[in-house]
Amino acid sequence: MYQLFFRLVFRHMDPEQAHQLAFRWIRLVARVPVLRTFVAAVLAPRYRELRTEALGLRLHSPFGLAAGFDKNAVGIDGLAMTGFDHVEVGTVTGKPQPGNPKKRLFRLVEDRALINRMGFNNEGSLRVAARLASRRPVFKTVVGVNIGKTKAVPEEEAVSDYVKSAERLAPYADYLVVNVSSPNTPGLRNLQAVDQLRPLLTAVREAADRSVPGRRVPLLVKIAPDLADEDIDAVADLAVGLGLDGIIATNTTIAREGLGLRSDPALVKETGGLSGAPLKGRSLQVLRRLYARVGDRITLVGVGGIENAEDAWQRILAGATLVQGYTGFVYQGPFWARSIHKGLAARLRTSPYATLADAVGADVRTSR
């Protein structure tokens, strides 16, 4: 049904406009109490066996929406209504910024992929914090807040830009994410180097503690799939050393391997981050490597190319306690999260594991 609608309507629209339209509909439905209760009952069924504890939080399911869909925290309840059990808002930057010039989002339909160079278009941490402060949640959803660097801020001042956002947003975040992996802000990914990352994460940790004295807000870092294996290990060791709560693997990739045979070669040449199916293999590899290094000492979040319940299940077996997706939602529509929850519950039931927690990392542990 959605596939037909996608082919007839969305495919002929500019991808960013289609996103805005779809998101507006979701928010509209979520504003009508009877409608949202009905839609949530259909799209967000809850399975006992999927209950998850992670980052000191209780979740109904391990599956959530990755950062970038709701950059300004305007539609959390609508997204919860469509079945995402946690919603990561952002990336939010210290100052508001318009992002890159349009067009900046491209669909590679035949490859079930997207290329984006949005460039952190967002209203800035002051406004987003005010919005979160005045929010009256309808659904019980975990809200992650993902922060990044303002483009106009020089690299030497990056730490204070992140700190400003952390201070403003930590009070409203169930967990906080330091994004150092978007390919669309010049120099951002250099912050993944351990000598830059250490002071950044330390300062953000202190900022969160300062602004929320009564609660330890879990802190995670989101990394790129393009890191060399030694750098992945270095980030993993740093995260454990600093007492970080988790790592999100991965953001989009600048690689274009295996593309261009099906999708228009002109689109493949667009600069930006590639997401969706072609990212699946590398994201899974990065996750496995991280789990082999850190085990259960910190929480791993698997994201990148997840299209169905089997993909989500493979991430759990590879070490992810939580899984996220974005591009799959664009191509598969409103029933996507539902089908993932359903399929995950079915897989767990027929697996040798009594609980989801027992399945986390099982593949990596047995291959050691």
So which residues are the catalytic ones? 182
Determine, following the binding rule CB under 6 A, whether residue 179 of this chain makes contact with ligand FMN: yes
Determine, following the binding rule CB under 6 A, whether residue 364 of this chain makes contact with ligand FMN: no
Which member of 125, 192, 252, 314 binds ligand FMN (CB under 6 A)? 252
Instruction: Judge contact between 240 and 294, C-beta under 8 A.
Output: yes
Determine, following the binding rule CB under 6 A, whether residue 275 of this chain makes contact with ligand FMN: yes
- Tell me which residue has its CB nearest to ligand FMN: 68
Q: Is 71 marked as binding a ligand?
A: yes
Q: Is 251 marked as binding a ligand?
A: yes
Least distance in Å: CB of 352 to ligand FMN? 28
Sheet with strand 113-116: strands edge to edge: 105-108, 113-116, 273-276
CA distances in angstroms from 308 to 34, 335, 340, 341, 344, listed in the order given: 29, 11, 6, 10, 9
Positions 287 through 346 that interact with ligand FMN (CB under 6 A): 303-306, 325-328
Closest CA to 304 of 337, 276, 268: 276
Closest CA to 11 of 43, 101, 2, 103: 2
CB-nearer residue toward ligand FMN: 79 or 105: 105
Round to whole Å and give the CA distance between 151 and 224: 18
Q: Is 69 marked as binding a ligand?
A: yes
Least distance in Å: CB of 27 to ligand FMN? 18
CB-nearer residue toward ligand FMN: 276 or 334: 276
Q: Is 250 marked as binding a ligand?
A: yes
Total residues binding ligand FMN (CB under 6 A) = 28
Determine, following the binding rule CB under 6 A, whether residue 68 of this chain makes contact with ligand FMN: yes
Which member of 50, 54, 66, 180 binds ligand FMN (CB under 6 A)? 66
Instruction: Judge contact between 326 and 275, C-beta under 8 A.
Output: yes
Half-sphere exposure for 274 (CA within 13 Å, toward CB): 28
Please give the helix or strand (H or E) that residue 108 lies within, else none.
strand 105-108
Half-sphere exposure for 283 (CA within 13 Å, toward CB): 33
Positions 8 through 37 that interact with ligand FMN (CB under 6 A): none
Closest CA to 331 of 112, 9, 87: 112
Q: Is 141 marked as binding a ligand?
A: no
Least distance in Å: CB of 289 to ligand FMN? 17
Determine, following the binding rule CB under 6 A, whether residue 182 of this chain makes contact with ligand FMN: yes
Determine, following the binding rule CB under 6 A, whether residue 251 of this chain makes contact with ligand FMN: yes
Instruction: Judge contact between 90 and 132, C-beta under 8 A.
Output: no
Q: Is 190 marked as binding a ligand?
A: no
Stretch of residues binding ligand FMN (CB under 6 A), selected from 37-45, 54-62, 271-279, 332-340: 271-279
Reduce the DSSP state of residue 73 to 3 states and report it.
coil
Strand pairing report for 105-108 and 113-116? antiparallel
Determine, following the binding rule CB under 6 A, whether residue 185 of this chain makes contact with ligand FMN: no
Residue in this structure with the two tokens 């291959």, named with its chain if needed: 367
CB-nearer residue toward ligand FMN: 97 or 327: 327
CB-nearer residue toward ligand FMN: 125 or 275: 275
Determine, following the binding rule CB under 6 A, whether residue 146 of this chain makes contact with ligand FMN: yes
- Enter the DSSP assignment of 249: E
DSSP annotation string for 281-316? HHHHHHHHHHHHHHTTSSEEEEESS--SHHHHHHHH
Which member of 78, 124, 276, 334 binds ligand FMN (CB under 6 A)? 276
Round to whole Å and give the CA distance between 323 and 66: 9
Binding-site sequence positions for FMN? 67-71, 91, 146, 179, 222, 250, 276, 305, 326-327
Per the annotation, binding residues for substrate are 71, 116-120, 179, 184, 251-252
Binding site for ligand FMN (CB under 6 A): 66-68, 71, 90-91, 105, 114, 116, 118, 120, 146, 179, 182, 222, 251-252, 275-276, 279, 303-306, 325-328
